[in-house]
Each structure stands twice: as C-alpha cells, then as structure tokens.
Amino acid sequence: MKGAILEVGSKLGLSLNLNRYKSTTSEEKRGKMKKFPYKLEYCPNPNVIQIQARSRFPKQGSMDILNLRLGGKDRKRHPLYVALSKISGIESASATGSGYCLQVAKANDLFSWDEILPKILAAIQTALAGKRQMAQVGEAVRPSREYLIGLRLQGCDV
C-alpha cells in the first residue's frame, strides 16, 4: 500500500514522506477514548461526595449499603454497587439525575475521604471503566466558605 501511494505521489510531482507516520492498530486508534474522565465535587455535608463522569452510572436509585451487606436481595445489583458495599465506611451510593453523577455518603467523621476515595475509584475502574484509565478533570470542587456560612444562616447543619 505504501509503495502504491509513493508511486501515485511521484506521478503527481509530490514528495511524500510516509515514514514519519506511525502505523496504528485499531486498539491505538480507539486510544482517544482510553480515558474515563471524572470530576470530584465535595458537598456542603462533609460526609457526602459526588463523582461526575461522561459515562452514565447505573441508575438503581438510592442504595442502602447496609441492606446489601445484611444480604438484602430486593433486586439485582450492579457490580459497582456490590463493590461499593464491600468498602468499609460507605453508608449509601446512588446515581443522581440523568445518571452522570454518583453520590456517595460515608458513615461519619471517623472515616476519611483520603482512605475511602481511592477504593471508590478502584470500584468504578473495575465495574465501569474497564481498560480505560481513570483521569480526574480539574481540581476537586469544594464549597466556598461564604456558601457554607450562608447555609448555616439558613439553619443547615454543615
């Protein structure tokens, strides 16, 4: 194929350097979608975090992890929620709105997001991302001090 292109190019008076182009496999061509982009958003409630993604999270409504841990089988669970139920400190997880956001609540202040979040991302990697690499987009969004003060003035316990 390369020889035929060079022959046509020389007949047209073109100087073609095809050696600079790397041959790509179909796996590499699909490399543009090899990432699973996500964004973290901390909620005013310090025990809740949202993970936003370009791929939809399974919509199974609010899931009570404790019920799943106790053997509750009210419906078939997606592997993501089964994996999340095995992480110590997670109280609930649910896909919200259109499904592009996963909201996760930890049990209390004794559990740290620094130790739980990597396990959550690993569960997402295994259940949803597959071979795509998890890639955080931008910095994690945190509520501003002014926003928290405004919520407290309205009577919210944050």
Q: How many domains does the chain have?
A: 1
Domain range holding 40? 34-153
Q: What is the pTM of this model?
A: 0.68
- Within-domain flag for 13: no
Average pLDDT, the chain: 76
Domain membership of residue 4 (yes or no) is: no
Q: Residue 57, Cβ neighbours under 10 Å: how many?
A: 24
pLDDT of residue 130: 84
CATH number assigned to the domain comprising residue 132:
3.30.1370.70
Q: Which of 66, 64, 52, 139 is nearest to 102 (CA)?
A: 52
Give per-residue pLDDT as tens, 60-85. Answer: 645 655 555 555 554 567 788 888 88
